Structure 1
């Protein structure tokens, strides 16, 4: 917002001070949130780390070109010891090799594609379904709210891991199945949050004004109500991404993620269990990548939550 919130300077003000006093500009909630976020060094550095991880995922083929090691090629002569064990980090294999003689660095980079891709796509599916269901339940109320609220309760009561393992076991491991399964079991929490927020704002004056002007229900829901409940949606979305990444890694760890030989962090950690005493790098690098990714998203989500919380008392520099 750029409208001044104080009166324009008078001629006496200019004569007294010798200069035109600077007017104070109003700041909307989103601009204030951005100003708070910029002052949160932990959140900003977390965002930088997330950006670097995205670049690693995008340029994974560059790492394969740089090292000369495609992600699924087995180097049994140079990538394994005479005893058939992985070789450690060296000038040839910067992060060492895995149990089949493949380059761990390249596979970690390609694994970032899987983890971040599933994290983003499954989160988008969760947000879309959860927001639509939550909006409908909170806005229409009555029978619609009762049915959708009970559906939310049913989904939340289902043990995610057991049912996910059963479904993936039946359909077979694949990236699409992983995204759908995680999205199906994650939307209910988003819907419950949105429903509660909509119930608190649907009777506000601006909603009644829009209704009195003849606006339809869909327009009121998505134009008047949804923008006013976006803050908790954004916060929950940023905190949901690491949860989804860990869920995908868990399924892969159990052998129910992506199909081999596709590289992903959960599958690498699972295979490396047998070699952690003799080949620490095999489990250390994909494990560190998973830890750094989830930690960065969690810290950034905390920063976004604090920035969007109007009760946070912070000094905003002018």
Structure 2
């Protein structure tokens, strides 16, 4: 466990030295804060009329990104949509990551019929296009936020399950696992206390990617009419903007695209940084590369001297 703790401590230090990663973490924190404030109804009501229809952006806070057809603030609608997007990302991740970790660990550790059954299950799921499966499940459960979260959560664990399974297959016969068996640890203790702590970095990386995928999927589903039906949503704003662009009304689409870009870009940067910092293989490659560059620099300095 000390080795695992050292890994995360070193990863945190490495991330803190990267300015772009720190900035992106700050942007993500702002989005989370907006979602939390929206949950406590602290944000301005996006349904309140603040001006005339389709007013262009101005320096007034409520009209910073202009107004829509009903004179409502585009900025306030984006903030309300942020709450929806972050809520979906967190809920979908909370469902899919535990499923992927548990099923992957069971398949990799036990093998045999357990492995065959789980592999068959995720092969069937992955053989059908993701969006079509989400639409089908949401139609069965019912349209709305809960249906979308359940559908995406029940389908989004496949990739992580494969990763965890492959890592557990590699580690289940290592010496520290054999030592745990010798001292009398049962299967659950070995899986959750000895094996998973050494592969859980995959779940952390997958969680950040899962949030990103859930947000994009919600926008696509709402845009085609099977997503969020009530409340503010970035997908609904993009759907409404398709007719507004013909009239030269560009600011609603520009505002929501900018909000999506900042969040998606930040999540991508943080996901890549987490992968580089936590994946032992990439860490080893990076350390070797850094060591080689330092050696070359010293050799060049010696030659100059």
Residue in 1 aligned with 2:52?
Answer: 79
Task: Choose from 221, 228, 231 the match for 2:191.
Answer: 221
Deviation by residue 1:243-274 (Cα, 9 ceiling, x = unmatched): 111011111111222223x0011111111111
Deviation by residue 1:143-182 (Cα, 9 ceiling, x = unmatched): 1101111111111111111222233344442111010111
Mapping of residues 44-193 of structure 1, within 5 Å: 44-60=22-38, 61-64=41-44, 70-74=45-49, 78-80=51-53, 86-90=54-58, 91=60, 93-193=63-163
Q: Specify the structure having the higher radius of gyration (Cα).
A: 1
- Mapped partners of 1:165, 1:221: distance in 2: 35
Deviation by residue 1:199-242 (Cα, 9 ceiling, x = unmatched): 01011111111111111111111001110111222122222211
Residue in 2 aligned with 1:208?
Answer: 178
The answer to whether the 8 A contact 2:223-2:239 is kept is yes
Task: Choose from 247, 252, 255 the match for 1:282.
Answer: 252
The answer to whether the 8 A contact 1:127-1:187 is kept is yes
Q: Which runs of 5+ in 2 are unaligned?
A: 292-305
Report the Cα offset of residue 100 of structure 1.
Answer: 2.7
The answer to whether the 8 A contact 1:276-1:282 is kept is no
After TM superposition, the score normalised by the length of structure 2 is 0.86
Provide closer, same or farther for how the CA distance between residues 232 and 163 of structure 1 changes in structure 2, counting only shifts above 3 A: closer
Q: Which runs of 5+ in 1 are unaligned?
A: 3-26, 65-69, 81-85
Instruction: Compare the two structures and name the one with the higher helix fraction.
Output: 2
Provide closer, same or farther for how the CA distance between residues 142 and 171 of structure 1 changes in structure 2, counting only shifts above 3 A: closer
Report the Cα offset of residue 30 of structure 1.
Answer: 2.2
Report the Cα offset of residue 71 of structure 1.
Answer: 1.6
Mapping of residues 227-246 of structure 1, within 5 Å: 227-246=197-216
The answer to whether structure 1 residue 263 and structure 2 residue 238 are counterparts is no
The answer to whether structure 1 residue 41 and structure 2 residue 19 are counterparts is yes
Deviation by residue 1:62-121 (Cα, 9 ceiling, x = unmatched): 441xxxxx222356xx331xxxxx221232522211223221111111111100110011
The answer to whether the 8 A contact 1:93-1:105 is kept is yes
Runs of 4+ that moved beyond 4 A:
none
- Mapped partners of 1:211, 1:44: distance in 2: 42
After TM superposition, the score normalised by the length of structure 1 is 0.82
